[in-house]
A and B are shown apart, each in its own frame.
Chain A
Amino acid sequence: MRGVGGYGEGGGEDQVDLFEYQGKQLLARFGVPVSAGEAVETVDDAVAAAERLGFPVVVKAQVQVGGRGKAGGIKLADSGDQTRQHASNILGMDIKGHVVRTVWIEKASDISEEYYASFTLDRAAKKHLGMMSAKGGVDIEQVAEEDPAAIARVHIDPLVGIEDYHARQLVFGARLNPAARSGAITILKQLYKAFVELDADLVEINPLILTPDGRVHALDAKVSLDDNAAFRHPEFEALRSLSSLDPRERAARERGLNYIGLDGEVGIIGNGAGLVMSTLDVVNQAGGKAANFLDVGGGAGAKTIANALEVITADPKVRSVLINIFGGITRCDLVAQGILDGFGTIDVKVPVVVRLDGTSAEEGRAILAASPRDGLMSAATMLEAAARAVELAKSGQEA
């Protein structure tokens, strides 16, 4: 659980996206067959791992973004020298803005056919959704667009869970090779069990392969965990700390803030996801761009606000800050106090525009008015505040 908020006007949690090797290790616990492999961070360790596993091996970049194969992040190696060459190319490689820090060295598999299998939650149906396709190894969204009939779907009642017939509907519906049927049914049931017991938002195997000797096997794994369930999964913490967060996002998370880094110049602090999103939109309409999304959640106190101000002003791109609070569970007097505390403890070099409305707004505005600070100003409405913050960001850039 996050440190702040806890009740309905704040945000929610992020998901924890895992690397392929983490996903495979988790799925293996549920019996899903995966290739033997090792995760390493140096070229020497890559060579040593490959020699332990036996050649040929596959050197796979561990990044949380698709398209790594096309980017040269997956290579087959027949020898120690080839492993060394590929690992040194791949480690440190930038794939769509994600720098490769870990490679997964895996025993190479012979592939006859490639399939797709996944479980997720269908929001509209309020049911679990299983999907399977005989067209695997490619982007499933592309298959959905070009050949929707190639994807078999089945809804599963969350109160009942998977029965064999669900798995059969997927396997027969996707017209899998008869040789793969029984292996695929077993894996689908294991995958569903992993989906539920891990509190995952998504479990996906793409490709799920059929080998020439008739085995069905997960060659990739994509697992996203629901951070809201972290309280009953102590292992989430270790998995999360390994994922590649933007340093600004890491700093914010350590302070219990719900933060997403963007690339504009107006720092945003607000309460409630919808209001913060709209603040981003209004800044955009006023001709500026937001540097971030930061939701302090419901019921934020002075400490949270001061922390938020610290995180935002540490971003060198930020030229002005817009604090937009509509108090319900959040009290504007505490917000005002937090802003003053922030000004007291950190060196705020950029102008800060504050708009307070709702619970204790008058008290909050009075607190700010009674303690004027250089560069700290109030605005009466959200639009006025946005216009002001954008104007200040622009004049700050020229100065």
Chain B
Amino acid sequence: MAIIIDENTRVVVQGLTGREGRFHALRNREYGTKVVAGVTPGKGGADVEGIPVFDTVVDAVEATGANASIIFVPARFAGDAVYEAADSGVSVIVCITEGVPAHDEARFVNYVQRAYPDTVLIGPNCPGLISPGKSNIGIMPGEITLPGGPVGLVSRSGTLTYQAVHELTQRGIGQTTCVGIGGDPVPGTGFIDCLSRFEADPDTKACVMIGEIGGSDEETAAEYVRQHVKKPVVAFIAGQTAPPGRRMGHAGAIISGGKGTAAEKIAALEKAGIRVAKSPADIGETLAVALGASATA
């Protein structure tokens, strides 16, 4: 099994006719994802390599039975796209777009959570998610993953996710689902949402959680793991040498008022019984130890 998306997920691509939307939608389809529709206002009736384009998400959902949306529109239109996706009734919305104004994000994240509590919004500013062998929705390179589990992975960082998945795959450790929740201050989906799904997923035997400086989501997740997660969890925190007061690329990655440091997060994770890898290269090794001999075979 996998979480959030699987072989039954049918994807509509908002922004399919744009450069990035087209490139990644076709790449996702090549991976095996059921990419069933695209939306570009004014281009309804056209197609992109056989994927039909509609003027509105509602039209696309009605015509194709899409139940998930991926958003590749520019930042200034991202809020509009999320509202449109949510109101169309899809149950998964993946917003890849980065640079979304924080006030827009705070509004649409609250809206989706309240109006559609069963809808999963991933991102914005995220690489998407992949259930290896089943569905890849986003910009992650599918070829570095390994289907079949037993690891579920959740991460605030995009490229660091690839690094971690690569380490796992090289050791022959497969993944059930890898979720890039994104590095923005108000992500639609957080660590805890994913960890609780992994805990409930019978095929996931262990979790990897990749955090970074800033905020307190890692600390909150550590407390959640201590109380509710019985499966082994391995973590990594980026930004151990980051200077305070500077945003390290991600809008959310900032040590402010002495809070949100890597040291604090690592201490909270270790206190909750989570093994913390020293470098991204150690994630595979640390997980192998956590899983015991069965995974290293």
Contact = CB atoms under 8 A, between A and B. Distances in A.
A328 B162 contact: yes
A281 B238 contact: yes
B102 A226 contact: yes
B159 A272 contact: yes
Interface in A114-151: 121, 123-124, 126-128, 141
B6 interface: no
Given A8-B138, A15-B247, A228 B123 contact: no
Interface stretch (A290-298, A312-320, A369-377): A290-298
Contacts of A260: 243, 246-248
B106 A1 contact: no
Interface stretch (B41-49, B91-99, B146-154): B91-99
Contacts of B126: 8
A interface, over-half SS: mixed
Contact of B186 (A121, A199, A284, A381): A121
Contacts of A123: 185-186, 215-217, 252
Interface string B220-255: 100000000000000010111111001111111100
B76 A232 contact: yes
Contact of B158 (A8, A159, A199, A357): A8
B159 A228 contact: no
A358 B27 CA distance: 14
Contacts of B279: 278, 281-282, 285, 382-383
A37 interface: no
Contacts of A10: 98, 158, 249
Interface in B165-195: 166, 180, 182-186
A273 interface: yes
B72 A7 contact: yes
A382 B128 contact: no
B156 interface: yes
A38 interface: no
Contact of A9 (B159, B246, B252): B159
B281 A382 contact: yes
Given A281-B239, A284-B241, A381-B281, A11 B249 contact: yes
A24 to B, nearest CB: 22
B20 interface: yes
Interface residues of A, number: 64
A85 B134 CA distance: 73
Interface in A257-288: 258, 260, 262, 270-278, 280-282, 284-285
B197 interface: no
A8 B249 contact: no
B interface, over-half SS: loop
B191 to A, nearest CB: 12
B13 interface: no
A158 interface: yes
Nearest to A383: B281
A277 B242 contact: yes
B280 interface: yes
Contacts of B107: 158-159
A2 interface: yes
A201 interface: yes
A354 to B, nearest CB: 15
A332 to B, nearest CB: 10
A367 interface: no
Contacts of B117: none
Interface of B: 20, 24, 72, 74-76, 96-104, 106-107, 109-111, 113-114, 123-128, 138-141, 144, 155-163, 166, 180, 182-186, 210, 212-213, 215-217, 220, 236, 238-243, 246-253, 257-258, 278-281
25 contacts: A1-B74, A7-B139, A8-B128, A10-B249, A123-B252, A126-B106, A141-B258, A199-B103, A273-B183, A273-B212, A273-B238, A274-B159, A274-B183, A274-B210, A274-B250, A276-B249, A277-B157, A277-B212, A278-B160, A280-B241, A281-B241, A282-B280, A285-B278, A326-B162, A328-B159
